Every structure is written in C-alpha cells, then in structure tokens.
Structure 1
Amino acid sequence: PKPANLSFEQAAVVAISGLTALQALRDHGKVQPGQKVLIIGASGGVGTYAVQIAKAYGAEVTGVCSTTKVDLVRSIGADHVIDYTRDDFAEGDERYDLIIDIGGNSSLKRLRRALTPKGTLLITGGETDGRWLGGFDRQIRAMILSPFVGQKLGTFICSENAEDMIVLKELIEAGKVTPVIDRTYPLSEAPKAIRYLEEGHARGKVAVIV
C-alpha cells in the first residue's frame, strides 16, 4: 500500500531507487551506527535515498555532488557535502568505512584510497567511459581484486521484494525518508523526460504522469 504521507507521484518513484539504496547500505554495505559513509552521486535518484537511509541507520554521511546540488544534498540530511567541481574526496585525510558510488567515473585506485583498510566499496550503475566491458569496467575489476585485498570491493543488482518495500514504507511514514522529485512530465512528454535524465542534471527523481 502507498505510504499515507505521499502523493501518488512521490510513491511512484520509490521502488527501484529506494530498494537499491536500502539493499546497498543494509545488506551489502552492512552499515552500522557511527560509521562514515560516502555517497558519490548523492543528488540523483538513488543517491537521495541513500543519504537519507544511511542517516536513518545512524551513519555519518558525506555526499558528493555538483555545485548546484549542494543545498539539496544538505537539505536531505547529509552531515558533509563535497562539491566535486572544487574538491576531491580522495585527496583529503578523511577515510570512509563505506563508499557507495552511483554511476560515477572515479578510478578504482582513487576510490580505494578514500576507504579505510577494512572498508567496503559498492559500485552501482554503469559508467559512460567503460571501454571494453560496456560500461561495467570498474565493477568487474573490483570483484576480481576484492579477494586479494583487505577491503571489500564489489557491485550488486537490486532485488525487488515485498518485505523491503514495507521497510521503505515504514521509513517514509516515520519521516526519515522523503522521495525527492525534480520534475514531472505528462506521458506525452516522456521523450523529453528521458532526455532530461540523460543530460545528468536531475535533482532526485523524474516522474511521468499517466
């Protein structure tokens, strides 16, 4: 059932992105209270859920996004925000227990540099610069490397199930997670919505009204 405090448009954008964020953090990242979590792509569809869910699980959250989206990421609860056009998350002294990289393009070497020695890196979403594996270059290399290093490196595929939808519903009704919708389009303008998403400017989700 739809969370009581959501519009139908908001409810429509929960499923895949919300489940991806929940399963990345809870199941694959094993997030714990007090851990330092870095979300790369924090202003996007999955990222806005990941920031809020990580906070709900008690983590200290740093979001990475562009200049125009810093305020958004801060408004949904991130403790720290890194503007990637000005600062490099891998160059500072901060090390993270868990890094969720959502469709980014940072090298595996840079991502590992920002991890604690026993930290976890999860890469989700394809990249535009994957040369020989159709956009999943880093994911494959992360899985190959992981058994030989102290850090846990990998990727995963979201699994749709009713139990996790109930978890999301409870988080939403408790006010801990709120879907972020950037724009809505009528069905007749669906191609325009797709182009907008492909341009990479979306702040949260884009909904098509049927």
Structure 2
Amino acid sequence: MKAAVYENYGPAEVVQITEMARLDPKAGEILVRVGAAGVTTADWRLRAAAFPGLISKLAGRLMFGLFAPRNKVLGSDYAGEVVAVGAGVTGFRPGDRVFGFASGGAHAEYIAVKAEGAVLTTPAGLTDTQAAALPFGAQAALEFLDRFAQVKPGERVLIVGASGGVGAYAVQIAKALGAHVTGVASGANRALVEGLGADAFVDYREVDPASLSGPFDMVLETIGVMTYPTVAGMLAQGGRFVPLNFGLGDVFAMRKAKRNGHSVILKVNGDTKAGLKRLSDMIEAGRLRPVIDRVYPFDQIHAAYTHVESRSRKGAVVLKLPGAAPLPKAG
C-alpha cells in the first residue's frame, strides 16, 4: 500500500509517499480502506517535533521518539470503508463506511484500528472527506468545553481562534451547549464564524482581544497567543481559562487564578467512541457540521502541511486518497 512515511523529524519534505506492507487486522481490529484523512496541528507538531514549551519538547521526544519518530506514518483523522475484520469483531463488517480517530497511521491507503476504539459508522449524508474533517477538531472542542470546563446554558464563552481547526467546531459546540459565544478571528473570517453561530465577533486586527472586558465565564484559547494574566481581567467570578497549548508559565498561573476566584484548566483531550457518538448525534440533529478549508490530493501532502503550518486555515485540511486496489479474495 502507499503511505506517507517520515524517518526523521523536520520540514514537510521529510514525508515521502512510498510503498509499505499492509497489515492484516488482528483479533479485535478492523481494516479500513482510507478514503480521506485529516492533516492536523498535531500531525505538524509531531512531524517537526515542534512541541510548545521546554517541558513539552522533552516530554514529546520521550513519548514519540527521542532522536527519530517511532511511528513512521502520521494521521489521526480518517474516513473510509471496512474491508476486513479480525477475529471476534461483531460490530462491523466489510462494506461499512466508518470514520474515526487513530494514534497515527491514517496517512496511508489502509489502516488497522481497534473495533472498540474511536471508530464509528459514518453519519448518513456525509462523504469521506466531510467525515475525516471531524474527529480531531470536533472531539477536542467537545472535551474542553463540555467535559473539562463544563459549560452551562447561558454562560458567556470567548473563543480565541474561532475559525481554526478546533475553533470552528468550538463555536458550534458552545452554542449547542447553550452558551453565548464571542468568536475572535481575522475580519476576513467574520462571515464564517457568525455563520457557525457566534453571537458576537471580534476582529483581532482591529481590536486587541486583551482589551476585552467581558465578563466571560470561560475563555477557550486555541492558538497560544493569550495567557492567564492577559485574560484575568475579563473573567467573571468562577471563570475558567482553558488554553489548548500550555507551558510551565500556565502551571504557575494556576495558584494565582485560584486566589482570584478563577481556574486555569490544563488538560489533554482523549478521543473515544462515545465522543464520536455525541458528535454524530449532533450532526444528525443539525447542530454541528463539518468545516473544511481545503482538500488536497494525497500526493500533495507537502502543500497540505504547509497550509496547516501557516495557522491561517478555516476549519479542517483534508487529504483525498486515491482508490486503493481492492483486497484479493480469499481462496
């Protein structure tokens, strides 16, 4: 099968599409022919070893490979068709259309994943491209808004980076949770952010987000430009500051925030079948939709990475994979 492989950390060019052996599904696994796969901020950071903060850089290298990557194929978001199932799998069968989140391996024509993991039948009406745009950004938004910050109806939520890969879903999910949403993004993205449901919009090129008075019950910082000292004055009593990217300074800020009647929530989101089910239910109810900036052919993966690293995308960046050759019939 064709796969986008990287042997060393570095720029987009370290990724090369090459042939590699396709694994058969083990017991409890399904084999998916990938129709589309997302290229996310996490893929970029893993490929370049661009982990934010000194502690994250060290921890990232220890976790993913000190001198070279352990997992040679990136890609977490995917959608496609089940082509084979391993022993003991009863929830899926060949021909099922599925989408999900994996800990790597989705930038390839085939991927084997655990049937009980973060994989689900694709919601009716979604293409592979649309479904592959969901898992990373939408699950992150759901986890941080609902599970970690526990946003309640009527609360005022500020989303910094409201047009990005996580922010575009955070706007929709915060609205679905009943919040009053203010989105911060470039003025060029006003129509997108308001179209996703934002009640108010701030163009950061015209208004410094740090000058906002709020009060906000929660600030979700998706791009790493604001810190607790920046947002403290705009948080209501009991307000929560939730940065997706954080470092040692944010850890130190937690005590000060507590003294001020606030909280700094530093978490790493997980990805589960239950989370995908909630997203699927929201899609079917018309409360969530995929947001796609650009779709690239698989052989233009370098361009896809470059666009993600520009940090100017509007929603997800997706690779469209060519139809892989079907599996040979048994016998």
- Alpha-carbon shift at residue 144 of structure 1 (Å): 4.9
Q: 1:71 aligns with which of 180, 191, 203?
A: 191
Distance 2:301 2:148 in 1: 33
Structure 2 residue identity aligned to 1:198? E
Q: 1:15 aligns with which of 135, 146, 149?
A: 135
Q: 2:305 aligns with which of 171, 182, 194?
A: 194
Structure with the bigger RCO (C-alpha within 8 Å, sep 6+) is: 1
- The structure richer in strand per residue is 2
Which structure 2 segments of 5+ residues have no match?
1-120, 322-331
TM-score by length of 1: 0.90
Instruction: Name the structure 2 match of 1:183.
Output: 294
Distance 1:76 1:203 in 2: 12
- Alpha-carbon shift at residue 141 of structure 1 (Å): 3.1
Distance 1:55 1:207 in 2: 25
Which of these two proteins has the greater Rg computed from alpha carbons?
2
Distance 1:59 1:42 in 2: 15
TM-aligned CA distance change 1:29 to 1:87, over 3 Å:
same
Distance 1:138 1:79 in 2: 31
Instruction: Name the structure 1 match of 2:260.
Output: 149
Extract structure 1 runs of 4+ deviating beyond 4 A: none
- Alpha-carbon shift at residue 89 of structure 1 (Å): 3.0
**Is the contact between residue 227 and residue 250 of structure 2 (CA under 8 Å) also seen in structure 1?**
no
Instruction: Name the structure 2 match of 1:123.
Output: 243
Distance 1:209 1:125 in 2: 28
- Alpha-carbon shift at residue 147 of structure 1 (Å): 4.2
Distance 2:138 2:289 in 1: 10
Distance 2:201 2:125 in 1: 28
Q: Kindly indicate whether residue 288 of structure 2 is the aligned counterpart of residue 168 of structure 1.
A: no
What does the per-residue CA deviation read over 1:25-57, in whole Å, with 9 as the maximum and x for residues that have no partner? 111111011100000010001001100000011
Which has the larger displacement, 110-119 or 171-180?
Answer: 110-119
- The structure richer in helix per residue is 1
- Alpha-carbon shift at residue 16 of structure 1 (Å): 1.6
TM-score by length of 2: 0.58
Q: 1:38 aligns with which of 158, 169, 181?
A: 158
Distance 1:26 1:175 in 2: 18
Q: CA RMSD in A?
A: 1.5
Give the % identical residues.
Answer: 34
Q: 1:3 aligns with which of 94, 117, 123?
A: 123
- Alpha-carbon shift at residue 192 of structure 1 (Å): 0.5
Q: 1:97 aligns with which of 190, 199, 217?
A: 217
Which has the larger displacement, 114-123 or 84-93?
Answer: 84-93
Distance 1:67 1:35 in 2: 25
